[in-house]
Every structure is written in C-alpha cells, then in structure tokens.
Amino acid sequence: MTLYMHQVVKGPATNDIAVVTPGGLGTISVNDWAILDGPDPSAAKVVGRAQGLHTLSSLSEFSWFTAVNLVFKDER
C-alpha cells in the first residue's frame, strides 16, 4: 500500500504553521498533515493524520528535521 502526506502551508485549509520564526536557523513549525490513500487530495480518502513539528536546522541549505506521530483512523 502507498500512502501520501498532504501539506498545505497557505490558505484557509492550512495544516502547517510556523510558530517560531527568528529568521533563518531555528524556525519551528507544527503540522497536522492528512495521510491520504491516493495522490490527488480532492479524490483521495483521508486514512489518518501526521501530527508533529519540524525545525529548520541549517543556515547553508534548506534542511528540516521532522518528528511526527502517525495516527490512523481507517481500520484497514
């Protein structure tokens, strides 16, 4: 089975929000991403959530550390 995490960073359906933004290194965001059973968010079924946080961990490159809990709600 292949699953897809769906991240939305702008708009009314935002599920990823920066809570600490010092400018560059140290940005911290929290997330509640949908886990889908297909690649198209408008047609796929939500089977769970990826809930956690991620931090920007490098000044020289775009590098994030991510920690999430996977919470499934589909009995499959």
| SS3 category, 34 | strand
pLDDT of residue 46: 93
- Residue 76's pLDDT band, with cuts at 50, 70 and 90, is low
Tell me how far apart the alpha carbons of residues 28 and 51 are, in angstroms, rounded to a whole number.
14
Please list the residues that pair with 68 across neighbouring strands.
52
pLDDT tens digits along 56-69: 877 767 788 999 99
pLDDT tens digits along 9-33: 899 999 999 899 887 678 899 999 9
Tell me how far apart the alpha carbons of residues 33 and 66 are, in angstroms, rounded to a whole number.
12
Q: Which two tokens stand for residue 49?
A: 């959530």
Q: Checking DSSP bridges between strand 4-6 and strand 16-20, what pairing results, if any?
A: unpaired
Tell me how far apart the alpha carbons of residues 42 and 39 are, in angstroms, rounded to a whole number.
9
Least confident segment among 29-38, 40-49, 50-59: 50-59
